[in-house]
Amino acid sequence: MDERFALVGLCPAAEQAAPKGRRPGKRPALAAAFLALMVLGCLLFPLLLTKDPASMDLSNYAREPDGTFWFGTDTMGRDIFAMIWSGGRVSLSIGFLATALSTVIAVAVGAVSGLAPRWLDALIMRLTDILLSIPSLLVIILLQAALGRANIASLSLVIGATGWMSVARVVRTEVRQLRTSEYVAAARCMGGGTFHILRRHLAPNFLASIMFMVVMNVRGAIVAESTLSFMGAGLPLDTVSWGSMLSLAENALTAGAWWIVLIPGLFLVATLLAVTELGEWLRRSANRGQSNL
Q: Is residue 136 part of a domain?
A: yes
- How many structural domains are present in the chain? 1
Q: Model confidence at 114, in pLDDT bands (50, 70, 90)?
A: confident
Q: Over the stretch 212-255, which tens digit does the pLDDT of each residue have? A: 888 888 888 888 888 887 777 777 777 788 877 777 766 677 76
Mark out the alpha helices in the chain (DSSP H runs).
29-48, 80-115, 118-133, 136-147, 152-161, 165-178, 182-189, 194-197, 203-231, 242-246, 249-255, 259-291
Q: Is residue 235 part of a domain?
A: yes
Q: Is residue 144 part of a domain?
A: yes
How many whole angstroms separate alpha carbon 283 and alpha carbon 290? 11
Q: Give the model's pLDDT for residue 61.
A: 77
For residues 49 and 167, the model is more confident at 167
Q: Give the model's pLDDT for residue 292.
A: 45
Q: Compute the Cα dihedral for 100, 105, 106, 107 and give only its sign.
A: positive
Statement: residue 257 has pLDDT above 90: no
Statement: residue 166 has pLDDT above 60: yes
Q: Is residue 154 part of a domain?
A: yes
Q: Is residue 128 part of a domain?
A: yes
How many whole angstroms separate alpha carbon 120 and alpha carbon 104? 20
DSSP 213-258: HHHHHHHHHHHHHHHHHHHTSSS-TTS--HHHHHTTHHHHHHHT-T
Q: Over the stretch 18-66, which tens digit does the pLDDT of each residue have? A: 444 445 457 778 888 888 888 888 888 777 777 777 777 777 777 788 7
Q: Over the stretch 66-111, which tens digit does the pLDDT of each residue have? A: 777 788 887 777 888 888 888 888 888 888 999 999 999 998 888 8
Q: Give the model's pLDDT for residue 201.
A: 67
Nearest CA among 56, 59, 84 for reference residue 245: 84
Average pLDDT over the chain reads 78
Q: Over the stretch 177-206, which tens digit does the pLDDT of each residue have? A: 877 777 777 777 776 666 777 767 677 777
How many whole angstroms separate alpha carbon 91 and alpha carbon 55? 20
Statement: residue 209 has pLDDT above 90: no
In order of 31, 60, 88, 92, 238, the CA distances from 275 in angstroms are 7, 35, 14, 11, 27
Q: Is residue 5 part of a domain?
A: no
Looking at this protein, which amino acid is placed at residue 246?
A: L
Q: Is residue 147 part of a domain?
A: yes
Q: Give the model's pLDDT for residue 17.
A: 47
CB 104 within 8 A of CB 95: no
Statement: residue 11 has pLDDT above 70: no
Range of the domain at 236: 76-291
CATH of the domain at 89: 1.10.3720.10
Q: Give the model's pLDDT for residue 67.
A: 77
Its pTM surpasses 0.95:
no
Q: Give the model's pLDDT for residue 100.
A: 92
Q: Give the model's pLDDT for residue 101.
A: 93
Q: Give the model's pLDDT for residue 18.
A: 44
Q: Give the model's pLDDT for residue 12.
A: 55
Q: What percent of the chain has pLDDT over 90?
A: 4
Report helix, strand or coil for 79: strand
Q: Give the model's pLDDT for residue 193.
A: 64
Q: Give the model's pLDDT for residue 286.
A: 63
Q: Is residue 183 part of a domain?
A: yes
